[in-house]
Each structure stands twice: as C-alpha cells, then as structure tokens.
Amino acid sequence: MALILAAGCDTLNIENPNAPDSKRLLSDPGSVLSLGVGAMQTWFNTFENIDPGTTLSVMARSGVAAWNNFQIRFYTGCTYGAPLGPMPAPYDSLGTCGTKIATYKRVEWQNDPTSTRRLEIETYWYGYYAALSSANDVVKATRVNGVFKSDTTTSKMVETMAVLVQALCLGELALNYDKGFVVDYNTDLLTLQFAGRTAMRDSALARFDEAIQLAKTHTFTVDASFFNKPGVAYDNISVAQIANTMAARLLAYFARDSAENRDIAAGGVVDWARVASYADSGISSSITSGGLAAAPFDWIFQGDGCVNWCDGLKNWSNDMTTMRVHTRVAHLMDPTTQPDPWRAVADSQPVWGVTSFDKRLGDGTFGPVGQHKGTPGPGGVDSAAETYSATANAGTDFAWSYDKEIQFTARGSWHQSALGNIRYIDVAEAPMNPPGVANGVGTAPVVLAAENDLILAEALIRGPTPNLGQAAVLINKTRVTRGGLSPAPSANGLLADLQYEQDVELYSSNVAPYYNQRRIDGLEPLTPHEFPVPAQELGVLGLPLYTWGGASNPLNSTPAPAPPAPVAAALVQNAPRMWAEIQRAQRGRMLANTLLKGLLR
C-alpha cells in the first residue's frame, strides 16, 4: 500500500495556481483571467471534495461505507441506549446499530497535529482560504490595477466572478467552522482577528449582494473555462441567480440545531423571509433580482477525471461497488423491502407498484447487461454493478444489488445497504463509469435547481408569513415530476414531504444532507455539528487545542462573536501551500484506491 501511494504521488505534478508572482501576474490580463479561473477551480474541488464530503455524507446517514479511506469508519459509529433514550420508529432497543456486535459510538473531530485523522478538519479550511486568496488578488487587479484597461466587459466579468468566489468561500467557511478570518485584498493582515461564524456568514452575504449587483448592472458572458467548459453557457443573469441561490443556501443551512433553525422572530438564527427573497431569484427561477428575465438551470461543472477538476463526492458515492445509500434513506423510499437498521435476511428487491412507488428507485433494476466494465454474469445480471438487468420499471437514480453486503462485516452491520446511487455514473469511479468514459470525466451539477426550490419551499413553511400552497407546488416539482408520487401534502405532512425530497432528490449532489440533518437534530448523538479551527493553525497562534463532538465536548459553538486571537497573517498566507499539499495527498490516495480495486477484481 505504501509503495502504491508513493508511486501515485510521484506521478502527480500538481501546480499550485494560488501562489502567484503577484507583481508579474497581477499586471497581465491573461494571467489575471487564469488566476480567476484557478480560484473557481479550487473552490469547486473543495466544495465537492471526496474528503470530507464522503465522511459527512455517512455521518448524516445519507450515504454509507465502512472503509478507512477518509476516516469514514472511524467517524461513523452507531447508537443504542443512552444517550439516545427511547428509540423512535423504526428503531428498537438496538437503535441505529441493529446489533450489539462490534459497536462503537460517534466521536469528536481528532483535532490534534499528531493525529492521522485530522485531514477531514483541514480540507475545507485550506481549500477555501486558498481560493479566497486568489479571488482577492483578482479583485485587486481589476479594481486597483485596472489590468483590463478599456475592455470593460471582460473586466466586469472577471471582477464579478472573483467577488462571487469570495462570497462562496466565506459562506462555506461559515457553514462548517465555528470561526475564521474575513480577508479581502485590502485587509491589514497584521491586525487580522478571528470572526465568529455569524460574522463570517454576514460577510459572505455582503459579498453575495455585491456579486448580484455587479451581475445585474453589467452584461457579459462568463468565460467557459470558469466551469471547465461544461458545454453550458452562463451569462451575467446566470451569475446573479447562482449568487442568490448560494446566499439562500447559506442562510438556510447555517443553523447548527433545531433551536437555531427557528425563524429569527421565534428566537432562532435564520431569517426565513430573507431566505425566500434570495431563493425566489435563484437558479430555479424564471425571473431574478430587479425583474430580469431568467431561465431555470442546474449549476454544472465539467470533471476531467480528477486531474485538475474533481467531483470526488460523486466519484465515490455513485460507485455502488464502493459506497451505498444509507438504510435510513433506502427505508424512506421502500419501507417494506429496505429495513432500517440493516438486516440482510429482511432485505429484498423492491417491487414496483407494490412496495416501491418512487420512480427514482423503481424496481431496483439497472443495466442493460454489460453497460459497465466487466463480463456480464449469468441470468441477466450485470457483473460490475451486481444488479439485475433493467426492466421498464428501472429507477432513474437508485439501483438494488443482489450483493447486499459489500462492506467488511466486522466493521458494523449498520454500514451495509443493498441500494446504490446511479444518477451521476458518468463521473463515477471505475468500474461504474460507462464504457468509453474515463474515470471521473463528465458533467455533473454542484447545485441542482431542485435544491433552490426546496430551500424556497422550506422558507415558505417556516417563515413568518407561511404560504403552504406554494410550498407544495415547489416540492411537487420533483416529488411528482421525477418521483411519480402523489402530490404533497401527503398523509405524512408537508414538512415530511419536503424532508423526503431533501434526502432523495439531493442525494450526492453535494453535502446538503449533512446540513439538513444537522439543523433538525437528525445527526446521531455525539456527532460533531461543525469543525474547529485546525490544530496546526492553533499551534501557530499559540492557542490551546479544542474540538467539537464526542462524549466530552459540546457539539458546536454558539453563534456569538469569537474571542480575539493573535495576529493571523501567516495562516492566511500559507493556505495556498497547505491546499496544494492536501491535493497531492488526496489524489495519491484516490489513485491507490483505484489501483487496489483493479487488483482485487
């Protein structure tokens, strides 16, 4: 294993696009454009990163796996008895474990500079700050240096995209960490102090507002290289819609628990009316801020096989030979054949129209035979996916495998599931990628139009002036159109219908399931609800180590302001270098995993 990792790392020649020779690059238009593209590329690679994306997915009981890759097994224990208390249906006294064999509880983030399990804490921090560093340089080049001179259209396009990246980075840091640093091109790094997560959020929202205003004011077409040329054109209106959706998403997902998730008028931290205002002009809207005509779209990037643009989350979560759909979600779609917690003897293939009524699951078949690499098996089965060949009732997003237990049984039965995700197999890891399509090469959304619809629907349910009828219309856009289910509200209620769509429709598009479970108290007891500042940063600042989650720590911070910190200039300046090192290590591990799977098949 060590030799494979070493060989993999030696073959990767990853440049760091976020550490430019400022004096030279920031005076050259082509270099500034490339730097802006690099900022968006780094944001994308961080946002859809395999680590901690897959780990957070399993922590949310959205996807499931038991591999030691990305410390998934370590951070995803199960719960029975105290502190969970009386078990809600469908659980009994064995809780989410379903067994008392080889069980272990959820633990805190291992925020220690000597721990090999700290990378999950570091990826978002260094990735987003690296992207922010580049975006800040681009904003300076356009506003201070006037690098594009008389080419106003290009100048405003690049400036708007850089401000958007600033907002995206600060917003994701606010969603994931208890505090951070608000940095712009004109920030005095010698006096930089910590900002609490609420201040981080508000700084991000201010930049989203700025990006929206720039996009509304200036007409341009975005250079396709900002999204790695996915074959979809984005213009200034599209950028305004993206900024509106991501601002709504930040506000809606910011809460760390159900108390914070209440409207600000009820003592919570979410301004649901403001969420609705943003989402109403988002990527699912036909009109955007200022009454500008728009068209709904999924925000799509082009993956290049994880050479430079990598949707690592989908790469793993759509390979059903590696990762499966958690039984919590599988049971929602078919409570008869998909038990939760896992029991192999009780699991069977979904029966369309009898036990399964969601077209995204159908009867669980998938194919045709030989669609994937590998020799077709006997009896009309696909030997790579280990599924039965597709019938007329095959699902669009999920499939059932007759090889029901692919995880190591010694690592806990709660890590097993027979359902896999097939919606984004074009960017899936081998052997699930279709013939003729390289591993991880293809287009895939980072945010679906449906996610914006569901955010708006929730705002119309939870806000100070509810509009349940319109919320149902928005939910039914996927519940009925893609799922083929009866219109909401169902007998379970409108909120339950909304949360069903959040679990099923948004599966593996990004890590939204973690935020959605976090803010309704759906994460298992002891699960961390946010990341601490990485231990390496605390060490540089001379601050004590701390963490979140586990039996001995709070699950998360309060939304109050952060305490002052020593000067943090070195931390911000070192982020690009640390991000480059993280990418090298991660891609080496991904290559090693692919090689090992090839040897084992």
CA gap 557, 538 in Å, rounded: 17
pLDDT at 309 over 90: yes
pLDDT in tens, 5-46: 222 222 223 344 444 466 777 889 999 999 999 999 999 999
Q: Residue 590 has what pLDDT?
A: 62
pLDDT at 378 over 70: no
Q: Which among 258, 417, 424 is positioned nearest to 328, based on CA atoms? A: 417
Q: Residue 348: what residue type?
A: S
C-alpha torsion 24→26→31→37, nearest 10: 140
Confidence of residue 490 (pLDDT cuts 50, 70, 90): very high
pTM (2 d.p.):
0.91
**DSSP code string of 517-547:** HHTTT-SPTT--SSBPPPHHHHHHHTPPP--
Q: Is 269 helix (H, G, I), strand (E, B) or coil?
A: coil
Confidence of residue 432 (pLDDT cuts 50, 70, 90): confident
Instruction: Determine the distance from the C-alpha atom of residue 78 to the mean position of all C-alpha atoms in its chain, rounded to a whole number.
Output: 22
CA gap 282, 296 in Å, rounded: 8
Confidence of residue 370 (pLDDT cuts 50, 70, 90): very low
- Mean pLDDT for 320-333 is 96
For residues 215 and 574, which has the higher predicted lDDT (pLDDT)? 215
Confidence of residue 365 (pLDDT cuts 50, 70, 90): very high
For residue 209, what are its two tokens? 């507002």
For residues 384 and 270, which has the higher predicted lDDT (pLDDT)? 270
Q: Residue 5 has what pLDDT?
A: 24
**DSSP code string of 130-168:** HHHHHHHHHHHHHHTS-TTTT-HHHHHHHHHHHHHHHHH
Q: Which helix (H) or strand (E) holds 387?
A: strand 387-388
pLDDT at 425 over 80: yes
CA gap 504, 41 in Å, rounded: 28
pLDDT at 154 over 80: yes
Residue 381 and residue 401 in contact, taking contact as beta carbons nearer than 8 Å: no
Phi, psi of 336 (to 5 degrees): -85, -50
Percent of the chain with pLDDT over 70: 87
Q: Which among 415, 401, 330, 406 is positioned nearest to 98, based on CA atoms? A: 415
Q: Which CATH architecture has domain 2-54+123-311+508-590?
A: Alpha Horseshoe (1.25)
Kindly calculate the radius of gyration of the chain based on its CA atoms and give it in whole angstroms.
23
Q: Is 445 helix (H, G, I), strand (E, B) or coil?
A: strand
Residue 319 and residue 597 in contact, taking contact as beta carbons nearer than 8 Å: no
Q: Residue 420 has what pLDDT?
A: 96
Residue 583 CB neighbours (<10 A) = 24
Q: Residue 56 has what pLDDT?
A: 98
pLDDT at 575 over 90: no
Q: Give whichever of 15-24, 257-266, 379-388, 573-582 has the largest mean pLDDT.
A: 257-266
Residues whose CB is less than 8 angstroms from the CB of residue 481 and which lie 6 or more positions away in sequence, other chains included: none
- Mean pLDDT for 428-451 is 86
Q: Which helix (H) or strand (E) holds 381?
A: strand 381-382
pLDDT at 372 over 50: no
**Out of 96-105, 238-247, 354-363, 570-579, which region has the weakest mean confidence (pLDDT)?**
570-579
Q: Residue 430 has what pLDDT?
A: 77
pLDDT at 563 over 80: no
Q: Residue 18 has what pLDDT?
A: 47
pLDDT in tens, 36-90: 999 999 999 999 999 999 999 999 999 999 998 899 999 999 998 654 545 556 6
Q: Residue 601 has what pLDDT?
A: 44
Q: Which among 362, 383, 341, 174 is positioned nearest to 260, based on CA atoms? A: 174
Residues whose CB is less than 8 angstroms from the CB of residue 289 and which lie 6 or more positions away in sequence, other chains included: 212, 216, 240, 244, 281
Report the mean per-residue pLDDT for the chain. Answer: 88
Burial degree of 232 (CB within 10 A; 0-12, 13-18, 19+) = middle
Burial degree of 10 (CB within 10 A; 0-12, 13-18, 19+) = exposed
Sign of torsion, CA 365 369 372 375?
Answer: positive
- Mean pLDDT for 288-300 is 88
